[in-house]
A and B are shown apart, each in its own frame.
Chain A
């Protein structure tokens, strides 16, 4: 490695000879890099939530890595070139889609030189394509509405039914790209379906008393959770993403809370809680911090642990 650098740097005597040696080193470097590609099937995901699901499906066969971490706001990840290095040898890139990663993933994919993970490529799986998308705007959209997602709501992993659909799509794609592991992927998926099936029953029982109850959220990030749990959104602290709400809106929320009996304000832990705290205090509601994704807190390493925490905290607050 160091020799490559030195050859590049020193160009004075016998340029031709150095050129030949440079080419030889290049060939060597490429040869060293190639076997790495042929080793474990390498899955790169954009978020830890997707990585957790891919890890379940690819257990014992695929090597899974996430570009972002659960503690990060997935809208604002830095397009650090180090991440492009991770994408270079990716056999499969799984992204959320619906423009969640629009601010950072496209330049990384371009820098990666990996043609197959371009949008629509065989080695690219956009998880949103596996689910029914909600919050698709039906009227005109412009940025007076804030920095919203014009293609629909990308925060769908809070609904375990949709998480399962994503896992199924992963298993199908993995089986197609890595036929030697198809049996493993299908068996892993069957196991996950069984476990999550039981979890979903348990979580639904936990949430049953909360059905029909009203809550506020920071942004419209819990739409899919509500779709599944039957809990109802009574409004958002910041309805126009990225545009701080004026006190008049917060006061209006307090009024709504008192009229409609809103008992909880749900905020993902990567958001600033200042406005939510004020509303919760004046409305006599509980501020409920929920993990933004798998990995958002120590101990939330699997999708099941993450959902256990989300369901437990919300059910607890609405008891």
Chain B
């Protein structure tokens, strides 16, 4: 079924007009420069004139108007002057290597201690130990394969190997040359819902996901096969509107159901050192027959203060999630909510500290009500490619019970892993 959907996504993509389909022709100015450039003083070809010619050629080729079609990037003019590393007449012996995608592997493992029965009273996907019995765990090994596909798109694959086997965390195509600020992601994707849901765990400041996400969004990430269309609005600040359709199965035992999502994310700069990001998300998931639905809402804020000339920064962020189950048999139809907020202070290249507070509906055998958790994390970065974290949190269940959790977590990466978005 997943394959069918991927095929459907590809069909959608291939319906997007890409002029010519053949090798992109060098653009007029590039060709001119290759031929020695126009003599100085010669009347330059006007923009309007060129556009007219472009449209005429497009008509002759039987493609759509170039202003509406995807713009294939023109190749660069001939390589300028001297290049480095002169190579022998036999060509480069590294040719095969040059065509390999960027390959990376990130391992995460650690040890956990919990003073109460988390599995029964606060069930979650993230690592924990049996009551009073410290435990080692392997969380996952994430394998990343990333490269451009062709001049029109790039591909990113993230495969996760863990104690429960292997899975495709994400595997998607991203368009690079759609016009009018549009960009399409298609394949297996983390849903564009909230800020943290789209991040891989190795980007988080804390070891585990907030309870709020585990309880209301999905036991792991809200994800699935589908298409995400993102429009970068023509505004002086960063404003991106996402509309996505996906099949999701948020919790263990759920079947794949069609889910529609919308997200508006905006970033502003407040002076030289401060950036503010705000996001609003909404989703509706089909819940079987009779028009039953799961409605999700979310808001997220990210504030980052980093004086330009230092490596240190303060990042304050938080998210609120809302969930309402409409007409789902045996489920409470009222609106549930959960939230979390955290602050992380990166002191320098080597040390960072964070605090987090969360509220979420209780689960498992805990009495119904609101579960609260307060946590702190201390991180040591021996280098850019390794970090060791100690996270302590105190969990308070409705009724006052609860307990302490300690997580010691090691993360390490090798290879070329693409830089992450902000």
Contact = CB atoms under 8 A, between A and B. Distances in A.
Contact of A122 (B30, B264, B313): B30
A69 B37 contact: no
Does more than half of chain B's interface fall in helix, strand or loop, or is it mixed?
loop
A113 B40 contact: no
Contact of B241 (A8, A243, A269, A270): A8
Contact-residue bracket for chain A: 35 or more
Contact-residue bracket for chain B: 35 or more
Interface in A108-127: 110-113, 115-116, 118, 120-124
A85 B348 CA distance: 28
Contacts of A130: 80-82
A122 B41 contact: no
Interface in B332-356: 348-350
A44 to B, nearest CB: 15
A168 to B, nearest CB: 7
A124 B267 contact: no
Contacts of A165: 81-82
Contact of B76 (A122, A136, A183, A272): A122
B419 A179 contact: no
A115 B29 contact: no
Contact of B73 (A33, A115, A128): A115
A253 B264 CA distance: 54
B418 A106 contact: yes
A136 B275 CA distance: 37
A82 B267 contact: yes
B181 interface: yes
Interface in A216-273: 242-244, 269-270, 272
Contacts of B241: 8
Interface stretch (B2-10, B56-64, B172-180, B190-198): B172-180
Interface in B268-289: 268-269, 272, 275, 277
A175 B234 contact: no
Interface string A74-91: 001011111011001000
A123 B313 CA distance: 33
B308 interface: yes
A120 B76 contact: yes
Contact of B84 (A113, A143, A152, A270): A152
Given A106-B418, A147-B383, 11 more contacts: A29-B233, A71-B308, A82-B268, A107-B421, A115-B152, A121-B73, A143-B414, A147-B384, A172-B80, A179-B37, A242-B384
Interface of A: 1, 4-5, 8, 29-30, 32-33, 38, 69, 71-73, 76, 78-82, 84-85, 88, 102-107, 110-113, 115-116, 118, 120-124, 128-133, 136, 143, 146-147, 152, 165, 168-169, 172-173, 175-180, 182-183, 186, 242-244, 269-270, 272
Interface of B: 26-27, 29-30, 32-33, 37-38, 40-41, 44-45, 47, 70-77, 79-85, 148, 151-152, 154, 174, 176-178, 180-183, 232-238, 240-241, 264, 267-269, 272, 275, 277, 304, 306, 308-309, 311, 313, 348-350, 383-385, 414, 418-422
9 contacts: A79-B419, A80-B422, A107-B419, A121-B73, A122-B30, A147-B384, A173-B77, A182-B37, A242-B383
